[in-house]
Structure 1
Amino acid sequence: MTLTAPAAAHEAAHAPELTRAELLRTEVPGPESRRLHAERLEHVPQGVSWALPVYIESGSGAILTDVDGNRFVDLGSGIGVTTVGHADPAVVAAASAQLARLTHTLYTVTPYRGYAELAAKLAERTPGDHAKKTLFVNSGAEAVENAVKIARKHTGRRAVAVLDHAFHGRTMLTMAMNHKAAPYGTGFGPFAGDVHRVPNSYPYRDGLDGAEAAARTIAYLERRIGVGELAAVIAEPIQGEGGFIVPAEGYLPALQRWASANGVVFVADEIQSGLARTGRWFASEHFGLVPDLVLTAKGIAGGLPLAGVTGRAEIMDSALPGGLGGTFGGNPVAVAAALAVFEQIERDGLLAEAERIGATLGGLLAELARRHAVVGEVRGHGAMLAFELVEPGTKTPLAGAAQRVAAHAAQQGVLLLTAGSYDNVIRFLPTLRTDDRMLRYAVAVIDEALAGL
């Protein structure tokens, strides 16, 4: 019998607890993974790094299986990509059917079905009831770059502001927009100009409420850039690589009001936080934020490369015909997969599943924080949660601890992601098919790791 997500979660809650023996058959990494890794080291540049040298053969739901037969509870989802689950049958079926019909023509030469239908779904689901249009591209970084292009064309201004602790990509423009230089930008300069970093809201570290943090950011925007030069403010509603930093209440709406009053385009980078990840279609909804442009990627197409820029119609129409696009942007197979993702989220109640994961995992992590003084803060929304590791009794980042926790977890069959500007955050981006039994097992493994720090 095929279980719906809520039914599967209910059954798992009453099943025996998950054990390491159910997951792992060999040491981690196993012999076949080690052989493949030696091949990788010979043929793939070191800049294409790895977190764990296990080579995955297949995936289903929240479980990945490697070439040695080891199974892993995946709490990273390819950094938030497989939100609806690995190899989701509906997504695979939609992409396969499209693959058999048409793989490519280039939408700007001879269009095809699906592109406009998906754009309409984004217009419906992104915040705000204003008229919207959508451009599809290949990756999150490409979406960011196009948002900057569109904002500059619309405003006639050049400068772009980004927040401290931001991450927006690895292209030449987006490298200039990132908070951390290493490893993303080391040795790759000179970088694009007219990009300015300004303070964000980081309540755990700055102690400011939303109004205070917004006033500080706005002061930087006005004094160090100048309103007349500023095309766009780009913000992640919940910062991803920065450590899942959740801004103080009122911070983002205050920035948005200021931007609107000054003719500045407000861009929400929802590449990691969007598409049901936080228990809402978009994380902006948690903050009452209605951006001018919304960027999507990662979870939009169930693992196929696709990204979008959705925004106010009058802003999106600023570019002249031919000014936007790209050979593979909005590929018909990726678009078909994305339409299936939207259907799955709606049909299987995955927004509620994200809230269930947030309640279960958040409660378990809060208990960890009570028992382990190294856990400084647990934060996030829905299935986008994190905890920050600090020296006990202080807020000093605990250097190297996140990597040690992730390494211990991998040996027990749990895949974790690290994050944070200080490399001291464990972040959780589980698929929305992850049941409570898996979450309990993973947190028990993390509990062991924290006890050994």
Structure 2
Amino acid sequence: MTSATTAVDSAMARIIADEDAHVAHNYHPLPVVISRGEGAWVTDVEGRRYLDLLSAYSALNFGHGHPAIVAAAHEQLNRLTLTSRAYHNDALGPFAAALAALCGKDLVLPMNTGAEAVETGIKVARAWGYRVKGIAADRAQVIVAHGNFHGRTTTIVGFSDDPDARADFGPFAPGFVHVPFGDAAAIEAAITPETAAVLIEPIQGEAGVVLPPEGYLRAVREICTRNNVLFIADEIQSGLGRVGETFACDREGVVPDVYLLGKALGGGILPVSAVVADREVLGVIQPGEHGSTFGGNPLAAAVGLRVVEMLQTGEFQTRAKALGEHLEARLDALVGHGVTAVRVAGLWAGVDIDPAFGTGREIAERLIGRGVLVKDTHGQTIRIAPPLVVRATELDWAVEQLKLVLAP
């Protein structure tokens, strides 16, 4: 090892050690320290470049520092960043109108993080259940799926079945009924007169990009309509171009009653989330019943509007679909060669690693040494979700690096 290499490793180690000493250990980051990003690539503190195949869990669908999004942020930064919703601002209305149109809905309730959007969706569903459907007070139920991941608040982890998410954080809020993911008949069997909503991810991301069987979303839509139950689609990871459509629900031509959006809505610049629904649903919330100091702030609205404008062209959806097919063909070739299964939706893939070749974490760490960043989940799975601006040749190179780290 040369003295220059030793200095590089020592500098990296010092930065990681400083973070470990002063940041709560609620994450176990991979051993890389990123300092710059552009497009689909990031650079660490020592100048080494990596292809980003995580995109901050789909928050960076448009890549690092997309010029159009950065320009919108800069322009708004120079004018106005925050008013709170105590006053009107001139950026929120255009953003809400554009997002509502993109979703084919009437109203937008702006928030910040994805978990806030989910919490808001639950409140809306309960209020609708009591005020519109006529469910008795404090009796409303929401049906959720096993294997779900909707966020980290105490309400949300209370209806998770992941022990790491739940352990030592109770007691939890009642009112949630669990059914197997992908089983529409189980949803129908679980519905009672007290059911207000069905809350599902159209594709389960944190679980490892788990796709439901064909026709599942159509069946859920029909069941909810027939039983006067809201269909709430958590599209926080799957939405906004990731799967080759604007929303994952579009893959089956389905429109939910409520969209929960976040991550990519902030353009990789700041947290922006939203609940989007028609007036007869979202209109149940009245002044004083729900709010957020930063929700709908002018900076977030300006960035969100630019994101919506970029999605309106369909360019990113088309690109994700074509590149996803390209990626799937190359990943499929690894099945039986260190990979046991591959699941792909647009430019989003779950790759199950053969335990004989290592854990998902071990494979992710080996890929760092070859200039590729992925993230493991649930032991043996790695997730691949590159920015939608990635090139086919870059995907080919990344798969080749995966092949090399899986070589016997």
Name the TM-score, length of structure 2 as normaliser. Answer: 0.92
**C-alpha distance in 2, partners of 1:274/1:378?**
20
2:371 corresponds to 1:445: no
Amino acid at match of 1:57: S
Q: 8 Å contact 2:102–2:308 — kept in the other structure?
A: no
Partner residue of 2:360?
Answer: 402
Amino acid at match of 1:81: A
| 3-state SS of paired residue (1:104) | coil
Moved more, 358-367 or 111-120: 111-120
Partner residue of 1:247?
Answer: 212
**C-alpha distance in 2, partners of 1:311/1:407?**
42
2:68 corresponds to 1:98: no
**C-alpha distance in 1, partners of 2:303/2:70?**
7
Partner residue of 2:43?
Answer: 65
CA RMSD of aligned residues (A): 2.0
- Picking from 285, 288, 306, the partner of 2:253 is 288
Change (3 A) 1:188 1:104: same
Partner residue of 1:218?
Answer: 188
Q: 8 Å contact 2:99–2:308 — kept in the other structure?
A: no
Q: 8 Å contact 1:140–1:307 — kept in the other structure?
A: yes
Instruction: Output aligned runs, 1:172-187, within 5 Å.
Output: 172-182=154-164, 184-187=165-168
Measure how far apart 1:441 and its partner are.
1.4
2:116 corresponds to 1:142: yes
- Picking from 32, 39, 62, the partner of 2:18 is 39
Change (3 A) 1:26 1:113: farther
Cα deviation per residue 1:219-277 (whole Å; 9 max; x = unaligned)?
2x14xxxx122111101011110111111111122122111222211100000000011
| 3-state SS of paired residue (1:368) | coil
Q: 8 Å contact 2:118–2:234 — kept in the other structure?
A: yes
| 3-state SS of paired residue (2:363) | helix
Amino acid at match of 2:122: V
Number of matched pairs: 396
Instruction: Output aligned runs, 1:305-320, within 5 Å.
Output: 305-320=271-286
- Picking from 357, 370, 382, the partner of 1:426 is 382
- Picking from 365, 372, 380, the partner of 2:331 is 365
Change (3 A) 1:318 1:400: farther
**C-alpha distance in 1, partners of 2:33/2:178?**
38
Change (3 A) 1:44 1:194: same
Change (3 A) 1:181 1:116: farther
**C-alpha distance in 2, partners of 1:376/1:36?**
36
Partner residue of 1:325?
Answer: 291
Give the percent of matched residue pairs that are identical in Structure 1 and Structure 2: 37
**C-alpha distance in 2, partners of 1:68/1:399?**
30
2:171 corresponds to 1:197: no
**C-alpha distance in 1, partners of 2:90/2:61?**
24
Measure how far apart 1:400 and its partner are.
5.7
| 3-state SS of paired residue (2:109) | strand
| 3-state SS of paired residue (2:193) | helix
Amino acid at match of 1:439: L
Cα deviation per residue 1:118-150 (whole Å; 9 max; x = unaligned)?
222222222xx5x42110101000000000000
2:328 corresponds to 1:383: no
**C-alpha distance in 2, partners of 1:232/1:28?**
56
**C-alpha distance in 1, partners of 2:13/2:376?**
23
**C-alpha distance in 1, partners of 2:217/2:64?**
33
2:46 corresponds to 1:85: no
Q: 8 Å contact 2:357–2:406 — kept in the other structure?
A: no
- Picking from 208, 228, 237, the partner of 2:193 is 228
- Picking from 144, 150, 169, the partner of 1:168 is 150
Measure how far apart 1:389 and its partner are.
3.2
**C-alpha distance in 2, partners of 1:440/1:332?**
40
**C-alpha distance in 2, partners of 1:28/1:254?**
59
**C-alpha distance in 1, partners of 2:64/2:238?**
18
Change (3 A) 1:285 1:39: same
Change (3 A) 1:255 1:41: same
**C-alpha distance in 1, partners of 2:369/2:173?**
42
Change (3 A) 1:362 1:102: same
**C-alpha distance in 2, partners of 1:338/1:27?**
44
**C-alpha distance in 2, partners of 1:218/1:387?**
31
Q: 8 Å contact 1:28–1:411 — kept in the other structure?
A: no
Amino acid at match of 1:365: L
Q: 8 Å contact 2:311–2:317 — kept in the other structure?
A: yes
**C-alpha distance in 2, partners of 1:383/1:355?**
7
Measure how far apart 1:29 and its partner are.
8.1
Change (3 A) 1:169 1:28: farther
Q: 8 Å contact 2:143–2:187 — kept in the other structure?
A: no
Moved over 6 A (4+): none
**C-alpha distance in 2, partners of 1:348/1:164?**
33
| 3-state SS of paired residue (1:451) | coil
- Picking from 83, 97, 110, the partner of 1:120 is 97
**C-alpha distance in 1, partners of 2:357/2:99?**
40
Measure how far apart 1:162 and its partner are.
0.8
Measure how far apart 1:346 and its partner are.
4.2
2:109 corresponds to 1:151: no
Name the TM-score, length of structure 1 as normaliser. Answer: 0.83
Measure how far apart 1:347 and its partner are.
5.2
Amino acid at match of 2:59: V
Amino acid at match of 2:13: R
**C-alpha distance in 2, partners of 1:28/1:217?**
58
Flag structure 1 segments of 5+ consecutive residues without an equivalent: 1-24, 202-212, 392-397
Change (3 A) 1:309 1:32: same
Cα deviation per residue 1:283-322 (whole Å; 9 max; x = unaligned)?
1000222100001100012121110000121100011222
Amino acid at match of 1:246: L
Q: 8 Å contact 2:246–2:311 — kept in the other structure?
A: no
Measure how far apart 1:449 and its partner are.
2.3
